[in-house]
A = this chain, B = another copy of it.
Amino acid sequence: MSDQASPAALRGGIDLGGTKIQAAICTPAGAVVGQSRRQTPTTGGPPDVAEQMIGALGEAADSAGVETDSLAGIGVGSPGDADEETGDVSDARNLPSWDGSFALGSRLSQALGAPVRVGNDVDVATNAEFVFGAGRPYGSLLGVFWGTGVGGGLILDGKRWLGRGAAGEIGHMVVRRGGARCPCGRRGCMEAYAGRMAMEAKARREHEGVRTTDLFELMRKHGHDRLTSSIWERALKHHDPLADELIDGAVKALGAGIASAVNLLDVEAVIIGGGLGVRLGEPYVKRIRERMGKHLFVADNPPDVKVAELGDLGGAIGASLLFADDAGGG
């Protein structure tokens, strides 16, 4: 473990994603002194997911040379509706059989012997960028996590803004009323154009029609069963016309949606993360910035727009911040 921190100063963080569980042991300064990653179960239910989270956090603690019950606390960044007051998680629809509510915080705390707090995955990842990452210089920012869906997190006046608990759903801001069907079931959401799930569905429809594309051949060749961020990146490098077209649509939707959010909130900065955001990086963030310019009401004073810095570990680091000294419990 780190020379700089006693075990009691260390925090655990778990980023619970639809495909992987990332656990980390962090110092108060955000250094990762131990980590582990496991696959998220695709069958079973919430107790099986919790079991893998417990295992991953235990491994991360082992690699840091500490016992889990010596940690100051363990934070969890969760999809679905994460109740910071109770630690319960409900409606995590990208996790197996998690349509109802499950007392995730209690279960983890019981097994790991440390206090557990549960927050929204995107909110905690935004906070990590604010405290330790690309958002450090700013007092207000919008985090945009461009991946399977498009999630958003807000820091206003130096603090996470959660609204009544469900703030940050930037992916479901309407960019084209009456437009494309979104995975959420509504029409014209930003995510209907920019989310990887929506883009893959569109690509499959086009491919089954008249369009030729290398996207699905690349997917099979690299042993995937879905269009990962790396597959999109490869296809763009080959100038695959369908990939170009869909990503161009995503960039336009992100530009309009993010600019709308900036027109409303006038934040100092926008931090773009997520699988696609981090993978495609600055060249595409530059294009998003340009598209935003068409819609910004105060066009001569745009916010800074930057790529997230913490990469895959941002979620777990942000989760550990639920036990930062000034974080509070709810």
Contacts and interface: CB of A to CB of B under 8 A. Distances in A.
Contacts of A172: 260, 263, 295, 297
Interface stretch (A94-102, A162-170, A272-280, A305-313): A162-170
Interface residues of A, number: 46
A215 interface: no
Given A169-B297, A176-B176, A186-B295, A163 B260 contact: no
B266 A177 contact: no
Interface string A138-163: 00100000000000101011000111
Interface in A178-220: 178-179, 184, 186-189
Q: Give the number of copies in the complex.
A: 2
Contact of A268 (B152, B164, B297): B164
Contact of A177 (B156, B165, B170, B175): B175
B297 A266 contact: no
Given A161-B156, A184-B297, A170 B266 contact: no
A252 interface: yes
Contacts of A226: none
Contacts of A140: 163-164
A256 interface: yes
Given A166-B297, A186-B295, A173 B260 contact: yes
A242 interface: no
Interface in A240-294: 252-253, 256-257, 259-261, 263-268, 294
Nearest to A263: B169
Nearest to A249: B177
A87 to B, nearest CB: 20
A174 interface: yes
A301 interface: yes
A172 B265 CA distance: 12
Interface centre among A154, A173, A186, A187 (most CB of B within 10 A): A173
Given A186-B294, A261-B264, A297-B184, A256 B164 contact: no
Given A156-B156, A188-B256, A260-B260, A295 B164 contact: no
A162 B157 CA distance: 10
A164 B264 contact: no
A5 interface: no
A29 interface: no
Contact of A164 (B168, B189, B260, B301): B301
